[in-house]
Amino acid sequence: MRILFLGDVVGRPGRLAVTERLPELRRLWRLDAVVINGENAAGGFGITEAICDELIGAGADAITLGNHSWDQREALVFIARQPRLLRPCNYPSGTPGRGATLVDLAEGRRLLVVNALGRIFLDPLDDPFAAVDREVAQCPLPAVADAILVDMHAEATSEKQAMGYHLDGRVSLVVGTHTHVPTADARILPGGTAYLTDAGMCGAYESILGMDTREPVRRFLEKTPGGRLEVASGEGALSGFAVETDDRTGLARRVAPVRIGPALAEARPSFWEAEAADDSGRGTP
């Protein structure tokens, strides 16, 4: 299975990067599944139903969230009727929505997507490790799910790495989100699980974490009340994680970082790019 995960979509630049580039990448790379973190998609804070529909229309099979899940209050309502939108699975019992979903894909394949929120330097929710364990146990590889993706939305790199090793051999990939800066450790862990500490963001990288630089800089220089954080203008880039899994085991076979757009050193999955080039040479549309 070919899976593309895209990191936190930040505001309009991030949304445009996704809607303008993803449909072609899905065709070119023959993707079986696309999962996007959308918790900053609405002006940098939360997600609306219209934006959720926009990202799904662009090719997302599922959208994960994080600590900004409820910044747009309408999400508390529409998440109940949108099974492709996930909030972290370790929110307390009774929280609207769901923390995992089994997505039906083409050719009868099924992808389990799980969203979890770390506790270090963030709101101390329920134990994310125990919560993810419960979700994975209900849909194990490869008996129920053909692949399992876990979005670990966390501040601390150590907590993300701990989740990766905790799940190694039991899920297809663990990918970190939240810090908006892509890390250089895309790899396959010893047990066969693909891992990346942070997928980065889809947004304008001439910024501070997707936001116009002026107010964040002022906050570091002055400890006084100031203005609102505003999404940076400019062209957005895509940043994420490409993973190909083994159809027999559901574990990872090949991985690569994805970075497409301004301000970043470009990175694409060479193995899919080569196959696309071969297909083009043979006249495949």
Alpha-carbon distance of 51 to 31, in angstroms, equals 22
Alpha-carbon distance of 241 to 191, in angstroms, equals 19
| Dihedral, 51, 66, 184, 229 alpha carbons, nearest 10 | 70
Cβ neighbourhood burial of 58 (10 Å; 0-12, 13-18, 19+): middle
DSSP lists the bridge partners of residue 110 as: 104
Cβ neighbourhood burial of 140 (10 Å; 0-12, 13-18, 19+): middle
Q: Is 153 a catalytic residue?
A: no
SS3 34: strand
SS3 154: coil
Which residues are known to be catalytic? 68
